[in-house]
Structures are given as C-alpha cells and as structure tokens.
C-alpha cells in the first residue's frame, strides 16, 4: 500500500459480550452463544436456535429515544463508540472529536424488523405508526443514527455484498485512505436478527438443528447470529500526529466475484484462491507468512468443503503451519457484520497471540484438519493474520493485518 494504514480502535457487541474484550475472553475460553431464539416465534421453522446479543445500555439516550432506535442501531452504536474511544476520538460527552469522519458500513438487512412490522401492519389494514417503520427500515437510517449520536458528519458508504460485506467495508475504508480521499475512517458492520432472514436461511435448509460444526465432515448447517463491529483506520502519520497508538497495520485487501452460482461457490475454490492471492500481493507477503486465518466457515456442506480446498491450494505445503478457525461456531453467522467482527477477532489473535479454537469439531475435513485450532493452544507469535469471507452472489473478500512496527 502506498500509504501505511494502521488500526487505532476496535469495538464490538456480540452474542458473547457487550464489548470486544468480553467477547474475546469468552471466545478464547471456548464458549458458544447458541440458544433458543426468543426474538420472534420460530415454532413453524425447522430450526429454533440462534446466537442473540444482549443489547448494551445507551447511557446518553433517554429510554424513549433508545426504544425508538432499531435493534441494528442498538448494536451498532456501542460498538462504534468503543472503537472511537479506544482510538482516542471521543470526548467526555461521547461525541467524536473529528467533525468530519468518513464512514464505511455494511449490513445485509438494515433494520428489517421495521420493514416486517410495516408489512404486517399493511396486511392487517393498520393505519397508524406505518410511516416510521417504512421510513426507517432502510440501512441509511442506521448511518444517520451513528452520525447523529456520535456527533460526526461526512460521506458514508453502505456496502451490501451479503456475507462478505463486513470485510468489504473495512477494505473500502483502506482504499479510501490509500488513494488519499481520507486520512481517518470509521469502518465496520452490523446485523440484527430478523425473521425474514431467519426464515430465508431456514427454508434453504442452511441452518442447523444440531450444533454448528464448521469444517467438520458431519456439519449440518449454520447458526445465525447478530453483532456489530467497528474499527478506526487511519494513516500512520495521522495516528502518530495526534498521539494515537497503532494496534496493527492493515496491509492487504483482496475482493472479487465468483460467478459459479448465486448461492454456491465454485467447487474447487479457484475464485477464493485468487482473492487471497490479491490480498497477499498487496501486503507483499507469501502465504506461509500468515500465522492465523479467521475463516468464513459457515458449517454448511457446500461452503466449508470449497473453503478447505481453497486453503489447501493457497497454502500448499505450509498448510500445516498456519492456524485456522471459524468463530461462527461461537457467535453464529452474523451476515453483514461477519466480515467486520471476524476481522477484529483476527486482529486480537495478532496482538495477543491467543487463538480462537475451532469449536464443536468431531471429525475434521481431512484437507484442513492439521490447521484447525484446538482448545487451549499455546500462544503464538503471529506476524500476519488473514480474515476471509464468502457471500451470496459470489462475493469473496480477504483482509490481511500485520504487526505494527514503528
């Protein structure tokens, strides 16, 4: 990259915790958040479980104001604030110190629960409260919530590339900085569980009624989850000038489209391999220099087999040295937030040397078995980590983060 890009703040709300530290501690301890889903009635669906987050309080919002916010915004706001606070960009009132702060966000469903209520209301011939639901289900309103509650303005981009969106949002933020269009960007993703999406994955028989077992020969489907995760990206100069401490560097971003099928990746994983190669080429590193991969690993029969093949091609003989896990077994598949929260987990692995274990593994896919992270593995010194995502429509993305060395 022509400008050195560093990460200076991280924040997350996940089914494992109301902030990144709690989420990370639970993840490393091997906890998973699968539980019966109570947000809406699931009695007619095959699957009845999901990974729900506990919404953090919003101390600066009245109860009435907080109640008016969508669940998506209730997840996104505390995560964004945590990232901004760690970056030293929040004042005591919880407002951003930079008046203008470009924003790159991702989601697949925005505040779809409002849209669902609107349709229910229309079908029931209800007349009141329809406008607010119709107007505020769209993702741009969560952007307005973020900007107004955190007190900043500036251009925003909402990327909806399905399950790769979160990685795309971070990658696009890096692109903006690299070409000189921005010095500092807030980037991340959010996703709240909604019935439309849950019913969609359920009718595709993509959700598991068993435990979520990524990269296991007996995997039977995904666990849906919800989360929000944000990070602050800036040029090294910008960070150092204002006294911020870089956490790591973002060194590579690859993305591309796999045409094979709308909902299935090319079986040999060739397109995903290309995307990872683009990311390592930009980072100027070889695959064997990557110490840990936070894999997409949905635990669907099609995805994980293809992904395992792609890793075996990409890493070749060094596959035995790299450590790989999918954290979706613990927090579920958070769709538009997945690429962001998984990037944050990869960064935590980079900075702490701790590795998130591959949960619920019984019979690993042979091609990838030696690389899957076991429980309580020893700390590792990782120079570079990668976060990989694949999405509906063939959206693939890979991000590489590297240790920050001044």
CB hemisphere CA count around 235 (13 angstroms) = 15
Q: Encoding tokens for residue 183?
A: 């010095």
Residue from 21, 91, 140, 363 binding another protein (CB under 8 A): 140
**Residues binding another protein: what is the number (CB under 8 A)?**
66
Determine the Cα–Cα distance for residues 28 and 15; give it in Å rounded to an integer. 14
Whether residue 16 contacts residue 331, with contact meaning beta carbons closer than 8 Å, is answered with yes
- As measured in angstroms, the least distance from the Cβ of 331 to another protein is 21
Would you call 296 a catalytic residue per the annotation? yes
Beta strands in 140-274 (DSSP E): 156-159, 184-191, 227-235, 248-257
For residue 168, CA distances in Å to 140, 174, 188, 232, 373 come to: 17, 10, 9, 15, 25
- Quick check: 296 binds another protein (CB under 8 A)? no
**CB neighbours of 98 closer than 8 A, spacing ≥ 6?**
89, 152, 184
Q: Encoding tokens for residue 14?
A: 């996940």
Task: Single out the residue of 113, 120, 171 nearest to residue 138, CA to CA.
Answer: 113
Residue from 38, 181, 237, 268 binding another protein (CB under 8 A): 181
- As measured in angstroms, the least distance from the Cβ of 180 to another protein is 9
Exactly one of 52, 104, 150, 163 is catalytic; name it.
Answer: 163
Residue whose CB is less far from another protein, 89 or 397: 397
Stretch that binds another protein, among 17-25, 140-148, 297-305, 371-379 (CB under 8 A): 140-148
Site string for another protein, 82-121 (x = CB under 8 A): ------------------x-x----xx-x----xx-xxx-
Active site residues: 163, 296, 333
User: In the complex, which residues of this chain contact another protein (CB under 8 A)?
Assistant: 42-45, 100, 102, 107-108, 110, 115-116, 118-120, 122-123, 125, 130-131, 134-135, 138-141, 143-144, 147-148, 153-162, 168, 172, 175-176, 178-179, 181, 195-196, 199-205, 255-257, 259, 262-263, 391-395
């Amino acid at each position: 990259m022509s400008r050195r890009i560093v990460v200076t703040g991280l924040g997350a709300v996940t089914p494992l915790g109301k902030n990144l530290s709690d989420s990370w501690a639970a993840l490393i301890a091997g906890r998973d958040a699968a539980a019966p889903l109570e947000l809406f009635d699931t009695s007619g669906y095959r699957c009845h479980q999901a990974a729900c987050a506990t919404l953090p309080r919003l101390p600066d919002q009245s109860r009435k104001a907080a109640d008016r916010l969508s669940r998506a915004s209730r997840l996104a706001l505390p995560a964004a604030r945590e990232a901004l606070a760690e970056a030293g960009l929040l004042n005591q009132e919880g407002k951003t110190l930079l008046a203008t702060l470009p924003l790159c966000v991702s989601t697949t469903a925005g505040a779809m629960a409002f849209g669902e209520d609107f349709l229910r209301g229309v079908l029931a011939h209800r007349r009141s409260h329809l406008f607010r639901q119709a107007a505020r289900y769209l993702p741009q309103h969560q952007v307005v919530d973020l900007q107004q509650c955190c007190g900043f303005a500036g251009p925003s981009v909402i990327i909806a590339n399905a399950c790769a969106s979160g990685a795309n949002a971070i990658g696009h933020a890096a692109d903006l900085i690299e070409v000189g269009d921005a010095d500092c960007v807030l980037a991340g993703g959010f996703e709240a569980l909604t019935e439309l999406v849950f019913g969609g994955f359920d009718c595709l028989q993509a959700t598991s009624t068993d435990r979520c077992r990524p990269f296991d020969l007996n995997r039977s489907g995904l666990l849906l989850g919800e989360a929000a995760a944000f990070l602050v990206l800036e040029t090294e100069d910008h960070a150092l000038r204002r006294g911020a401490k870089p956490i790591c560097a973002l060194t590579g971003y690859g993305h591309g489209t796999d045409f094979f099928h709308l909902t299935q990746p090319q079986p040999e994983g060739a397109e995903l391999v290309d995307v990872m190669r683009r990311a390592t080429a930009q980072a100027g590193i070889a695959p064997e220099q990557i110490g840990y991969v936070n894999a997409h690993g949905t635990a669907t029969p099609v995805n994980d087999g293809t992904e395992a093949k792609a890793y075996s091609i990409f890493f070749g003989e060094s596959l035995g040295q790299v450590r790989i896990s999918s954290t979706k077994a613990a927090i579920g598949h958070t769709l538009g937030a997945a690429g962001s929260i998984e990037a944050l987990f990869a960064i935590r692995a980079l900075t702490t040397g701790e590795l998130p274990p591959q949960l619920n593994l019984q019979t690993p896919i042979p091609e990838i078995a030696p690389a899957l992270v076991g429980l309580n593995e020893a700390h590792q010194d990782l120079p570079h980590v990668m976060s990989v995502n694949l999405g509906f429509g063939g959206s693939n993305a890979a991000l590489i983060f590297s240790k920050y060395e001044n």
